Amino acid sequence: MNVKNSVRFAALALAGALAALPVFSQSQASTGQITGRVVDAQGGVVPGASVTVSNPATGFSRSVATNDDGLYTIPLLPPGTYEVVGQLTGFQTVKRPAVVVTVGSSVTVDLRLGVAGVAEAVTVEGAAALVETTSDTRSTTLDSTAIANLPINGRRFQDFVSLTPTAQVDTSRGQISLAGQRGINTNISVDGADYNQPFFGGIRGGERSNFAFTIPQESIQEFQVVASGYTAEFGRSSGGLVNAITKSGTNQFKGSAFFVDRDKGLASKNVFNQDAAPTQKQFGGSF
């Protein structure tokens, strides 16, 4: 290989590496992680222990080993409910079920391994603490239960951001304002992909995006609203962040259907004797 070809090859390799960086960053943005420490019965660290997380609904699993300080981190986990299992030869196997990982979260699960004896496996019941201790991010997460059961006028998932302190939705334009910033300064992400207007900024769907239904409420699994303190993988915006993920399949078939009929005749007029809302007929489903 001559010098000219070597330079071309190096340039192509560099371009490929730079192109992959945004993909990796966005994949971090649409997932969560589990981290913690493994200790023995006396509180001493246990290096080399195997920690496995698995999602029974999807069959997804991943294993890591603790480092010399007994610490482990399992990143890039799709949001869901996991079982965490810690084990090492000569110790009891410890299981922690029902560990919920939400989008953008870091869940701490510490495990204590006793010496192997009569009980070869110990199951620790109770939810893991969801207090965020690894960052100063101020955020609110709306899960699938809240999205499905809370009342909303218009079936626009982004209207739920009003449950977050300092968040407001412009009723005329549909833009999302966080911590006093203009709506065009808010960064919107769906499944780690950009969901902003390419010219003005703000949520996709046009300047008056409250009249557009580009992503139906039925397709959203959960989303995170970060008013301030978001981490570097998001960036590109002086306002806050709305980070949503769509529903994914499991090993069981599921489906739903809906029909929304909102007639303007059933809505009262405003103080200027104008119709408060247009007629809306929307139907859909999922499988």
160-191: pLDDT as tens digits: 888 888 888 876 677 888 888 888 888 888 88
Query: What is the pLDDT, as a whole number, of residue 78?
Result: 92
Query: Does pLDDT of 214 surpass 90?
Result: no
What CATH number belongs to 138-286?
Answer: 2.170.130.10
The answer to whether 253 touches 287, Cβ cutoff 8 Å, is: yes
**What is the pLDDT, as a whole number, of residue 22?**
44
Q: Please, what is the Cα angle at 104 between 19 and 81, to 5 degrees?
A: 120
Measured from the Cβ of residue 146, the count of other Cβ atoms closer than 10 Å reads: 13
- Supply the DSSP string of 85-125, one letter for each residue: EEE-TTB-EEEEEEEEE-TT-EEE--EEEPBPSS--EEE--
Secondary structure E strands in 201-267: 220-228, 241-246, 256-262
For residues 174 and 154, give the distance between their C-alpha atoms in angstroms, rounded to a whole number: 11
- Token code pair at residue 3: 């010098």
Residue 250 makes CB contacts below 8 A (sequence gap 6+) with 57, 58
Please identify which residue in the block is written with the tokens 């969801």: 130
Where does 31-123 sit in CATH, by number?
2.60.40.1120
Which letter does DSSP use for residue 215 in this model? Answer: S
Per-residue model confidence as pLDDT tens digits over 97-135: 999 999 888 999 999 998 876 555 566 665 544 555 566
Both tokens of 287, joined, read: 């499988």
Pairing of strands 220-228, 241-246: antiparallel
Give the burial string for 25-48 (b: 16+ CB within 10 Å, else e): ebebbbbbbbbbbbbbeeeeebee
Residue 63: which pLDDT band, with cuts at 50, 70 and 90? very high
Q: How many whole angstroms separate alpha carbon 36 and alpha carbon 110?
A: 5
Residue 25, pLDDT score:
44
Beta bridge partners of 177: 168
Backbone angles phi, psi at 264, to 5 degrees: -65, -20
Domain ranges of the chain: 31-123, 138-286
Of 24-33, 57-66, 112-121, 140-149, the one with minimum mean pLDDT is 24-33
Give the residue-averaged pLDDT of 156-163: 85
Across-strand partners of 223? 142, 244
Kindly report the pTM of this predicted structure.
0.72
